């Protein structure tokens, strides 16, 4: 038996807002031009939103308009100065990622994970936090006492790997107007208990806004940056995490596309296992992975040669229909749900 914690941040958390702005710009580019190449970075704080990175596209995109739409949708009301500093992607990268070569858009390692803890093949505590964060965004829209920023963390008692026996402490920090705090805290706790009951999990203790007050939040309370929540975007610390951000990147960037492929492979191999973790690694400009490693609760699995052919960027993009997906939806509560 041991204690373990995992965390999610809400849509209105400054880092997640930046993820969504980067993803929204990419989404519009891909809608107009499926061959867009992009690595979009957003930083926000103290009345300013700075958007930079590289985009090569035939799309005609109003970056500032898209950013303002995201800010409005997540509940930020300030009139931010938005700075568009996006440039074109390096032609050197295109030498290895064009249609003829079809190589990876970067080097690095990506991880995929699956477990038999839930029907989603994800850890129970991770699924609970995702549901709670999605609910919070809905209650925030309906009840003005709830403000956009926040995060939530589960500290659980575990045995047999990812098997959650009970929640020892559910910590919730949510931005609010500080009006009728007793009532809003009760709404928060009641929903958490409802979700825990759905997954037949006991909650021993809650910590709600442990500092006592959370009224100043968003870009006024903290700076935000695309890619700073890669653990939330992946498996909330239940599995290894690659070094690259997944938001604001077109699918030739294996940080994004290969991470989703690794997840698909992990789900495929889960039968007869409690958990599976897959690592893919790439070199920029090369199409096949340098290595594929599949680990399970009973040991590693021999990798068939055919899997290397299946994991080229071109095959991944085609098989997973990665030019058609909703990049903003992935940026909201984590890529794997």
| Cα 80 to Cα 68: distance, rounded to the nearest angstrom | 8
Q: What is the residue-level pLDDT of the chain in tens, covering all 337 positions?
A: 999 999 999 999 999 999 999 999 999 999 999 999 999 999 999 999 999 999 999 999 999 999 999 999 999 998 999 999 998 655 554 544 556 446 676 788 999 999 999 999 999 999 999 999 999 999 999 999 999 999 999 999 998 767 899 999 999 999 999 999 999 999 999 999 999 999 999 999 999 999 999 999 999 999 999 999 999 999 999 999 997 899 999 999 999 999 999 999 999 999 989 999 999 999 988 889 999 999 999 999 999 999 999 999 999 999 999 999 999 999 999 999 9
CATH fold, domain 108-117+232-333, is GMP Synthetase; Chain A, domain 3 (3.30.300)
Q: Which of 41, 40, 45 is nearest to 14 (CA)?
A: 45
Give the residue numbers annotated as catalytic, written as ranges. Answer: 13, 15-16, 41, 54, 151, 214, 222-223, 228-229, 249, 253, 255
Look-up: residue for tokens 């589960």? 154
The token pair at 226 is 């695309």
pLDDT confidence of residue 95: 45
| Cα 298 to Cα 46: distance, rounded to the nearest angstrom | 50
Q: Specify the pairing of strand 81-84 against strand 48-56.
A: parallel
CA angle 167, 172, 173 (to 5 degrees): 160
pTM of the model: 0.94
Give how far Cα 9 sits from Cα of 129, 152, 204, 229, Å: 9, 6, 22, 8
Q: Which of 193, 192, 194, 179 is nearest to 143 (CA)?
A: 179
Q: Specify the pairing of strand 37-45 against strand 224-225.
A: antiparallel
pLDDT confidence of residue 96: 45
Q: Which residues pair with 225 in a beta bridge?
A: 43
CATH 3.30.300.10 maps onto the chain at 2-8+124-218, 15-89, 108-117+232-333
pLDDT confidence of residue 101: 44
Do residues 300 and 279 lie in contact, with contact meaning Cβ atoms separated by under 8 Å?
A: no
Strands (E), the chain: 2-9, 37-45, 48-56, 81-84, 108-115, 146-159, 163-176, 206-208, 224-225, 275-282, 291-296
Query: Exposed, middle or buried: residue 214 (CB in 10 Å: 0-12, 13-18, 19+)?
Result: buried
CATH fold, domain 15-89, is GMP Synthetase; Chain A, domain 3 (3.30.300)
CATH fold, domain 2-8+124-218, is GMP Synthetase; Chain A, domain 3 (3.30.300)
The token pair at 23 is 């993803």
């Amino acid at each position: 038996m041991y204690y373990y914690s995992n965390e999610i941040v809400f849509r209105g958390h400054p880092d997640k807002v930046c993820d969504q702005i980067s993803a929204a710009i990419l989404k519009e580019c891909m809608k107009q031009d499926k061959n867009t190449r992009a690595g979009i970075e957003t930083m926000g704080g103290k009345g300013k939103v700075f958007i930079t990175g590289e985009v090569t596209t035939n799309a005609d995109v109003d970056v500032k308009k898209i950013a303002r739409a995201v800010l409005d949708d997540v509940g930020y009301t300030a009139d931010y100065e938005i700075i568009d500093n996006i440039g074109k992607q390096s032609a050197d990268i295109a030498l290895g990622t064009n249609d003829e070569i079809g190589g990876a858009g970067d080097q690095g390692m990506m991880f995929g994970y699956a477990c038999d803890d839930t029907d989603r093949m994800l850890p129970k505590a991770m699924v609970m936090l995702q549901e709670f964060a999605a609910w919070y965004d809905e209650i925030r829209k309906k009840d003005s006492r709830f403000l956009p920023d926040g995060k939530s963390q589960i500290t659980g008692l575990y045995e047999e790997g990812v098997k959650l026996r009970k929640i020892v402490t559910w910590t919730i920090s949510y931005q609010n107007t500080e009006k009728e705090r007793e009532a809003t805290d009760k709404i928060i706790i009641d929903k958490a208990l409802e979700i825990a009951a759905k997954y037949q999990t006991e909650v021993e203790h809650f910590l709600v806004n442990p500092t006592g007050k959370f009224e100043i939040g968003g870009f006024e309370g903290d700076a935000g940056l695309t890619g700073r929540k890669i653990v939330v975007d992946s498996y909330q610390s239940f599995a290894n995490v690659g070094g690259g951000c997944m938001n604001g990147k077109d699918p030739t960037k294996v940080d994004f596309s290969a991470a989703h492929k690794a997840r698909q492979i992990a789900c495929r191999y889960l039968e007869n296992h409690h958990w599976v973790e897959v690592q893919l690694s790439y070199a920029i400009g090369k199409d096949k992975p340098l290595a594929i490693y599949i680990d399970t609760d009973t040991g590693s699995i021999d990798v068939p040669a055919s899997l290397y052919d299946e994991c080229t960027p071109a095959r991944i993009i085609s098989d997973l229909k990665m030019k058609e997906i909703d990049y903003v939806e992935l940026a909201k509560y984590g890529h794997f749900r």
